[in-house]
Amino acid sequence: MDLKREEKAGSTGLPTQLLWGGSFIVLLLLCSQTVYFYFNAQTRYQQQLGELQDKLIKEQHSRLSSELADAEQMIDQMFAEATDLIRQQTRSQTHQALALMNSLYQRYHEQLSEAEMKKMLIESLRDIRFFDDRGYYFIDDMDGTLLLSPILPGNEGTSLLGLRDDTRHNIFQGLVAAVSNAQKEGFSHYRWYAPDNNKVMRNKVAHVGTFEPYNWIVGNGDYFYRFEDDLKPRIYNALRNIHFGRTGYIALLDRDGRLLASGATPEREGFNYLNDPDPIIRQGAQQALATAQAGGGYLSYDWYQTEDASPSHRLSLVKPIEDRGWVLIAGIYQDEVNELFSSQEQRLGEAIKQGWSHQLIAIITIGILALLIALSYSRWLKSRFKRYDDNITQQQDKLREFAESLKLSALIVESAHEGVIVCDADNRIVKVNSAFTRITGYQLSEVLGKTPAILTSGLQDNDFYKEMWHTLNTEGAWRGEVWSKRKDGEVYPEWLSISVNRYSNGEVQNYIATFSDITHLKNLENKLRYLAETDPLTGLANRRTLMDCLNRDLAAQQRYHSAGVALFFIDLDRFKAINDCYGHDIGDSLLIEMSNRLKASLRESDLPCRVGGDEFILIIKFKEGKEGVKELPLLCQRLLNEMTKPLRLTGIDIDISCSMGVAVSSKDDDAYSLMKNADQALYKAKGEGRGCACFFDETISTTVYPSAIEVESTDQKD
């Protein structure tokens, strides 16, 4: 009896021992893993803090470099604009002087002797002043003799051949070189005494041109420093307005340490930091100037954020602007960087903490699951075979149900990129996929138990659906294009494929439909059709569309005695000369403007076309009879008036004219003969001097006129 008790105790104690032994091992492993994860998280946290600090420093360096580069580029651009302005103004003044001299010469050279004529020309420019009264004209002859110098009249008549500036540049040779080109004009750069200081030479630019009757050099000039003095306040103001971040700004010093512009302390502009009584300001300025003298770079120093604040550490990038004698400084205070670091550090710490919390929760969960599994395993050892057999039977039932669910899910997954609808034998919706919701806007709960008729757009009639169901029932599948309606009422095209899923006995189990939105394909078709029917530059109908519409209108006129048809051939006069003179961009802009004028001048029933180059063709419909024909000359004149209006393209004034040939259709005219007649009428208009319209008649058909190309070629030679 004791033996039975021991056997019973052994049979019940072994699972308990296995349970506690396994639980101890699991807990030991979990504790070891917890310690490992903790120390690993701390190490990773310190490593990421170092990487974060390095990243922030690099970002601030990059930020300062970008801001400084933008500021320097702005300064260079403003100086470049000022230089261009000087050149434009001096060139304009030279052109005005030459125009005045040519006008006087043409008017008086036959009435005056050569000496009198020259004196008149010289004296006409002597008293002219410009550029705030500092600009004047000078005249030299090609032998180097100074003929006109309003500010030094005593030097007139002297030779300039040996005249040089303080860089040993020969001034007269530079002026001669400037006019030694096909245009006989140009710029010359040299140094000369400034009006306010006759002891120091300054950079100057002069524009000179040739007065051809006497081969004189006529010109004027101005000093760069005057424009630069006007430009500097604008540059200072622009730099004051540059701020980045919370504390970042730009400062500009000269080489002597004087503050020229500051985005933080504009009230201190004009102070010399090297003479400041505060040693912090002096030392910071000395470091910045020393860095600039060494070629520029990054530096850290203490500086005041505001007048009443204590010094703060500041990170700056210094770059010298050698040709201006300036030092450009972009800086940001360390407080802002520290704030960014603290914020990033806090987020990183929270992320590490959150990750550690998740790991701890996972470890605890795994421990609990492990204990439950161990407990279940212990109980399983105590269970009977019947319980095991019952579990197998239950698992088989669940697997059978799961297999049916997988079979249905597989049908949906097969068309994952298309919308899928699964209907029962009564055509009631039982399943849809996410693509169905994306395309139609309906959720499964909104369509469950309903028929697909809720998607019908109404654009297909009942015969269409009868034919579809007939094919589906006889062949088991149907494919085609259908217009459907979304939940929001939008109608869209789709490609629909329906198949029938049957039981083994032949009865219908499901109807499975897959569909895709083909709106983008329809849009592409419309775009391709538009490109095939229109001119890409002007958007007008092209030759293909012209012929289709002309044949259609002529057929309608002959068959139904509808409105008459007139064909207008329009050709822009001397368009090639405009293209050659101003370039193809101006020519294209001109064609677009002419197209817009045509469209604005015609009715919706008329068709303007561009068939190539500068040729336009119009299909005009008019009332049958003499009354309708009488309106055509009025239309011609209105079109000519509109087309020949002056226009201005990119600052260029262009005068344009056009010629027009008109042919009116008769009963027997086809498209080819009507176009030929209009073309001959156009040639007649070209031959009669352009800028007019000619109507085709029998006299034109018996007369040989030069082609429009021949007329244009003749005018180009003239």
Q: What token pair was written down for 600? A: 């604005």
Alpha-carbon span 568 to 695, nearest angstrom: 9
User: What is the Cβ-side half-sphere exposure of residue 161, based on CA atoms within 13 angstroms?
Assistant: 5
- Angle 584-601/575-582 helices, nearest 10 degrees? 140
- List, in order, residues 6 or more apart from 477 with CB less than 8 Å away: 471, 497, 498, 499, 500
Alpha-carbon span 149 to 157, nearest angstrom: 10
Alpha-carbon span 717 to 87, nearest angstrom: 35
φ, ψ (nearest 5 deg) of residue 203? -65, 135
Query: Taken in order 7, 12, 17, 22, is the CA torsion positive or negative?
Result: positive
CB atoms within 10 A of CB 420: 21
Instruction: Choose the catalytic residue: 535, 553, 573, 614.
Output: 614
The candidate with the shortest Cα–Cα distance to 663, out of 638, 694, 688, is 694
Q: Are 500 and 477 in contact (CB under 8 A)?
A: yes
Which of helix, strand or coil describes residue 272? strand
Alpha-carbon span 136 to 128, nearest angstrom: 6
Task: Report the alpha-carbon angle 394-395-400, nearest 5.
Answer: 100
Alpha-carbon span 165 to 630, nearest angstrom: 77
* 138-141 and 146-148 beta bridge pairing: antiparallel
Alpha-carbon span 435 to 396, nearest angstrom: 33
Respond yes or no: is residue 463 known to be catalytic. no
- List, in order, residues 6 or more apart from 672 with CB less than 8 Å away: none
Q: What token pair was written down for 599? A: 């469209």
Alpha-carbon span 189 to 204, nearest angstrom: 6
Alpha-carbon span 409 to 431, nearest angstrom: 9
Residue 46 buriedness (CB in 10 A; 0-12 / 13-18 / 19+): exposed
Give me the residue label for tokens 């244009």.
Answer: 712
User: What is the Cβ-side half-sphere exposure of residue 40, based on CA atoms within 13 angstroms?
Assistant: 9
Which of helix, strand or coil describes residue 501? strand
To which H or E segment does residue 315 belong? strand 311-321
Alpha-carbon span 344 to 243, nearest angstrom: 23
Residue 421 buriedness (CB in 10 A; 0-12 / 13-18 / 19+): buried
Q: Are 143 and 137 in contact (CB under 8 A)?
A: no
Q: What token pair was written down for 342? A: 């603290």
Query: Which amino acid is present at 477?
Result: A
From residue 376, how far is each of 23, 386, 387 by CA, in Å? 12, 17, 13
| Helix residue spans in 611-688 (DSSP H) | 626-643, 671-687
**Helix (H), strand (E), coil (C) string for 96-120:** HHHHHHHHHHHHHCCCCCHHHHHHH
Beta bridge partner(s), residue 193 = 201
Alpha-carbon span 610 to 624, nearest angstrom: 26
**Helix (H), strand (E), coil (C) string for 42-80:** HHHHHHHHHHHHHHHHHHHHHHHHHHHHHHHHHHHHHHH
Which of helix, strand or coil describes residue 161? coil
Residues involved in catalysis: 614
